[in-house]
């Protein structure tokens, strides 16, 4: 029997988790998740389920019409009768609350995500005439204070790859494992920095997803789209060296086709890659917190500086909306505009 692809396993796992979460929610929620399935990923639906569970918990604890009922019995009429002010009180509550002895907090990004989930839920209920009004649409989204986008400078990229290759600055304990993982780590780091793919796309790669004839890798984007991303000679060289090593390894059951393996010979996890990136990046810069996503931003920055083509960057990074890309790389546009000032001379000195 053919082994299921990584993304298929992830989807099955997420769908199972979603069904378990839905058992703790009112029955009409199930229809909402069926309705959004064609336009969302399983990961997005899981996030919505967690957010809506939080909302129903709040209603159960704070709304007199819900406190004597089980959460699964909260009627639609309660949701339809809430006012925008009730939603605002819920958002205020989310900034800090305790549940089962555990403290929870939400910053402006957390509040925005939870309101976005609630808006989608209410929009669906209202559109399908399950409630008579939509109070969530009247609540303003929290204002997000944009953070400076962290990325590696050109010299830091070179230093990072040098550290991965040599391992000289690692601790004695880390160096013991370095010889076993050096080729794999260098291939993964070079691939992430040389293509800008997401860490989930990287760990999901199978050996037959790599095409050395055309220098491309087949990946599955968020939402399920299958695309080919192309790489340069540096990535090709690092991947080919690792592939020789990988073909000698007998992978564990369920990971036979996986490209990147852990020391246990299982498909490497997203968390393991995050730890790897953190381990090496701390040797290069102590001021920047570098994650796999920051490597993605580093690639996007380099590509935009070299080409000036925001649409190309958006396409390669897999952004559905070019405005998402523009927002992330607007600062580079400003740098280019500033550089224009030095080119035009009004009078000879």
Share of the chain above pLDDT 70, in %: 93
122 SS3 class: helix
Closest to 50 in 3D by CA, of 130, 117, 123, 119: 117
β pairing state of 210-211 and 102-105 = unpaired
pLDDT tens readout for residues 116-153: 999 999 999 999 999 999 999 999 998 877 667 788 98
Least confident of 136-140, 155-159, 316-320: 316-320
pLDDT at 331 exceeding the cut of 70:
no
Determine the Cα–Cα distance for residues 277 and 189; give it in Å rounded to an integer: 8
Q: Which domains does the chain have, with CATH numbers?
A: 6-138 (1.10.150.130), 154-340 (1.10.443.10)
**Cα 186 from chain centroid (whole Å):** 22
Closest to 56 in 3D by CA, of 24, 81, 20: 24
Determine the Cα–Cα distance for residues 309 and 313; give it in Å rounded to an integer: 7
102 SS3 class: strand
Phi, psi for 229 (deg, rounded to 5): -110, 135
Please tell me the pTM assigned to this model. 0.81
pLDDT of residue 339: 64
What's the DSSP call for residue 286? S
**Cα 234 from chain centroid (whole Å):** 25
Phi, psi for 270 (deg, rounded to 5): -60, -45
pLDDT tens readout for residues 105-117: 999 999 999 999 9
More confident residue, 173 or 225: 173
pLDDT tens readout for residues 206-252: 999 999 999 999 998 876 788 999 999 999 999 999 999 999 999 99
pLDDT of residue 329: 72
pLDDT of residue 11: 87
**Cα 202 from chain centroid (whole Å):** 12
Give the mean pLDDT of 33-59: 93
Determine the Cα–Cα distance for residues 140 and 110; give it in Å rounded to an integer: 14
Place 335 in a pLDDT band, splitting at 50, 70 and 90.
low
Q: Which two tokens stand for residue 22?
A: 């839905």
Determine the Cα–Cα distance for residues 22 and 138; give it in Å rounded to an integer: 27
pLDDT of residue 55: 96
Determine the Cα–Cα distance for residues 316 and 22; give it in Å rounded to an integer: 36
pLDDT of residue 286: 87
Closest to 102 in 3D by CA, of 72, 57, 142, 63: 57
Check if the beta carbon of residue 285 is closer than 8 Å to that of residue 152: yes
pLDDT of residue 321: 83
Q: What is the mean pLDDT of the chain?
A: 90
Least confident of 36-40, 188-192, 222-226, 278-282: 222-226
pLDDT tens readout for residues 264-313: 999 999 999 999 999 999 999 988 899 999 999 999 988 988 888 888 98
């Amino acid at each position: 029997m053919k082994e299921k692809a990584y993304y298929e396993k992830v989807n099955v796992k997420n769908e199972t988790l979603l069904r378990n979460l839905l058992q703790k929610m009112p029955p009409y929620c199930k229809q909402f998740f069926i309705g959004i399935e064609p336009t969302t990923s399983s990961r997005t639906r899981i996030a919505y389920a967690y957010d809506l569970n939080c909302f129903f918990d709040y209603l159960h604890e704070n709304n007199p019409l819900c406190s004597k009922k089980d959460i699964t019995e909260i009627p639609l009429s309660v949701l339809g009768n809430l006012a925008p002010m009730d939603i605002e009180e819920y958002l205020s509550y989310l900034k800090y609350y305790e549940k089962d002895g555990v403290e929870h907090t939400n910053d402006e990004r957390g509040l925005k995500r939870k309101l976005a989930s609630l808006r989608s839920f209410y929009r669906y209920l209202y559109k399908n005439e399950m409630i008579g009004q939509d109070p969530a649409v009247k609540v303003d989204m929290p204002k997000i204070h944009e953070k400076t986008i962290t990325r590696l400078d050109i010299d830091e990229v070179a230093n990072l790859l040098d550290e991965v290759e040599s391992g000289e600055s690692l601790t004695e304990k880390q160096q013991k494992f370095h010889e076993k993982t050096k080729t794999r780590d260098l291939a993964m780091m070079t691939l992430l920095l040389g293509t800008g793919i997401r860490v989930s796309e990287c760990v999901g790669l199978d050996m037959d997803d790599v095409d050395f004839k055309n220098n491309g890798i087949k990946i599955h984007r968020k939402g399920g789209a299958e695309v080919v991303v192309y790489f340069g000679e540096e990535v090709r060289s690092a991947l080919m060296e690792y592939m020789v090593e990988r073909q000698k390894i007998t992978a564990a059951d369920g990971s036979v086709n996986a490209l990147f393996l852990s020391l246990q010979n299982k498909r490497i996890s997203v968390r393991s890659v995050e730890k790897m990136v953190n381990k090496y990046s701390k040797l290069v810069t102590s001021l920047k917190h570098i994650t796999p996503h920051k490597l993605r931003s580093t690639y996007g920055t380099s590509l935009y500086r070299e080409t000036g083509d925001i649409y190309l960057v958006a396409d390669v990074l897999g952004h559905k909306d070019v405005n998402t890309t523009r927002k992330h790389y607007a600062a580079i546009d400003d740098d280019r505009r500033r550089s224009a000032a030095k080119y035009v001379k009004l009078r000879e000195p």
